[in-house]
Amino acid sequence: MGVVIESSVWEPNPSLFIFIFFACLLSILLLSYATKSASPSPFHLGVSPSFLRFKRNFLLIYSLVSAIEGFWLVFGEFEWSYYGMNREQMMLILSVGFGGSLIIGTTLGVLSDILGQKKMALIFCTLHLFVGAWKRLTAHPSLWLASVFLSVASSIFSFSFETWMVLEHEKQGHRQELLNDTFWLMTFFESASLIGSQSLANLSVLSVGKTGLASSFGATIWLAVVSIICISWLSKEPSLVVEVANRKMPYASILHDKRIWLLAYTQASVHFSVTVFWILWAPTLVADGREVHLGLIYPCLLGARMLGSSIFPWVIGGSSLRTEDCLLYAFIVSGLAVFIISYDYQEIGTLVSLFCVFHACIGIILPSLARLRTMYVPNDLRGGMISLSAAPANAAILLFLWQGGYYRNVGNSAVMALAAAGLFSSAACMHFLKRLGKQPYSNWHKS
């Protein structure tokens, strides 16, 4: 008598999606009752119409560019599989891309403070437009060169739009505390756009069998064109601009500030841990031949990040916690989650729960770090500071891709454990940063 072994594909419980949706909805709707009057909710009617118009237009553009960025994150691996590439070839393409981010992306970050962030935003859209059109028109595009262009675009995305928003916010004379709402809304809308880009990528995959791979890049071309039009329109929009003092200063003038170094290290640790997670999360789940529906887990992770970002204004505006304290706790919790994940084997349900905890913490960490950058980093040097902070992380990722992914000298669990160590050390940085602050919220704007 033969034995029949039934196999099933693991999927998250549908109630998880419902819980995340209603938790985010309630968190936003009830926000005005939890925050203090000094920090109005994002839908507060007391703020000026010009600020609401500015924020609405910027968030629209940011959602569009986030969708473009997310499309390639989801569609890239399918494209490599479509061309029959093996593990070593994929690792080499990733390595080339991170090498481009390390060299070109870091350089553009420093130059962006001189050339202007709007030009960098247009370069971001142009790179995506070029890659999409190139792959649309060419039967066998160079995946190596495309990886460099897309990696450089990702580097621009990480620093340009946040810096552009902060500079425009300052030029238009809006209150600094209103930036807190914009920061968490950026994380919220980015995560929502990434979920939307997954649906867009799935539709593109379905069209591959009918019209071929080249036709699936039309969506990114149109999104890039619309983004260029919107950015150009926003830059020409008339606004009441106040006189801003010229704060141009060399980087050497802030190198003696220990707070900048602590923030830079923390930013590098977050960039490293998030990038490592997105590289290793799927191999971790499907280890030992387990079958998992990754397409349903991906929106759960981004939904958890949305929930974490919606919690940020509750913590900052509705409690007496300093931003450094909030980050300290978030780094400890996220570090514990990644440390447990670094073990070779866990139940799928446990892993997905830990993944969601990690991303919920990231949803709190990202706007919190943006707030600290506003407090301690001169706006004229913000783009360069973010790109320079990511350079060590990109170098470390490049090393582990080469040693672990290609030569297989380093295990995935060791890389995850290093990411956890970086998060724990970032918690220590927040403790020291709090001790360095002699005033409740002393920042360079008041100097």
Residue linked to tokens 């602050």: 437
Mean pLDDT of the chain: 83
Of 116-120, 140-144, 415-419, which range is least confident? 140-144
Token pair listed for 228: 């260029």
Write the pLDDT tens digit of every residue in 424-440. 999 999 999 988 864 44
Which of the pair, 150 or 35, is modelled with greater confidence? 150
Whether residue 42 has pLDDT greater than 60: no
CA-based diameter of the chain, in Å?
86
Tell me the percentage of the chain whose pLDDT exceeds 70.
Answer: 83
- The CA distance from 411 to 404, in Å, is 6
The separation between CA 99 and the C-alpha centre of its own chain, rounded to angstroms, equals 19
Rounded distance, CA 386 to CA 176, Å? 20
Stretch among 232-241, 274-283, 317-326 having the lowest mean pLDDT:
232-241
Tokens standing for 227?
Answer: 């983004």
Residue 416 tokens, joined: 């995850």
What's the pLDDT score for residue 390? 94
pLDDT band of residue 215 (cuts 50, 70, 90) is low
Least confident of 12-21, 336-345, 359-368, 379-388: 336-345
Q: Which residues contact 62 (CB under 8 A, 6 or more apart)?
A: 161, 165, 186, 189, 190
- Which residue in this structure is represented by tokens 């994150």? 73
The structure tokens 């938790």 sit at 23
pLDDT at 272 over 60: yes
Least Cα distance to 153 among 134, 174, 171, 130 occurs for 130
Mean pLDDT of 163-178: 82
Q: Which residues contact 26 (CB under 8 A, 6 or more apart)?
A: none
8 A C-beta contact, residue 56 and residue 339:
no
pLDDT score of 427: 96
CA distance 91 to 94: 5
Most confident of 94-98, 173-177, 320-324: 94-98
The CB density around residue 425, as the number of other CB atoms within 10 Å, is: 14
What DSSP letter does each residue of 87-123 carry, written as one string? HHHHHHHHHHHHHHIIIIIHHHHHHHHHH-HHHHHHH
Across 67-76, 93-102, 419-428, which has the greatest mean pLDDT?
419-428
Positive or negative CA dihedral for 250, 251, 255, 258?
Answer: positive
Strand blocks (E) in 276-398: none
Q: What pLDDT digit, counting tens, does each position of 363-417 carry?
A: 999 999 999 999 888 888 899 999 999 999 999 999 998 887 666 777 888 899 9
Residues paired with residue 10 on neighbouring β-strands, in sequence order: 292
- Give the span between the Cα atoms of 445 and 325, in whole angstroms: 22
Indicate the SS3 state at residue 292. Answer: strand
Question: Is 288:344 a contact under the CB 8 Å cutoff?
Answer: no
Residue matched to tokens 């693991």: 10
- Burial tier of 29 (Cβ tally within 10 Å: 0-12, 13-18, 19+): exposed
Higher pLDDT, 82 or 168: 168
- Spatial CB neighbours of 5, under 8 Å, sequence gap ≥ 6: none
Q: What is the pLDDT of residue 406?
A: 63
With beta carbons less than 8 A apart as the criterion, state whether 358 and 135 touch.
Answer: no
Residue 65 or residue 283, greater confidence: 65
In DSSP notation, 242-303 reads PP-------GGGTTT-HHHHHHHHHHHHHHHHHHHHHHHHHHHHTGGG--B-HHHHHHHHHH
Residue 327 has pLDDT above 90, yes or no: yes
Residues 6 or more apart whose CB falls under 8 angstroms from that of 144 comprise 93, 96
pLDDT over threshold 70, residue 51: yes
How far, in whole angstroms, is CA 202 from its chain's centroid? 21
Helix (H, G, I), strand (E, B) or coil at 10: strand
**Would the pLDDT of 110 be above 60?**
yes
Instruction: Output the pLDDT for position 104.
Output: 94
Q: Which residue has the tokens 């914009």?
A: 182
What is the per-residue pLDDT for 411? 82
pLDDT value at residue 249: 55
Mean pLDDT of 168-183: 81
Those residues with Cβ within 8 angstroms of residue 395's Cβ, 6 or more apart along the chain or in another chain: 102
Give the single-character DSSP code of 103.
Answer: I
Centroid of chain to Cα 351? 21
pLDDT at 56 over 70: yes
For residue 84, is it left (φ>0), alpha (ψ between -120 and 50) or beta?
A: left
393, 268 Cβ separation under 8 angstroms: yes
Q: Percent of the chain scored above 90 by pLDDT?
A: 45
141-167 burial, b if ≥16 CB within 10 A, otherwise e? Answer: bebeebbbbbbbbbbbbbbbbbbbbbb
Q: Using an 8 Å Cβ cutoff, are 69 and 154 in contact?
A: yes
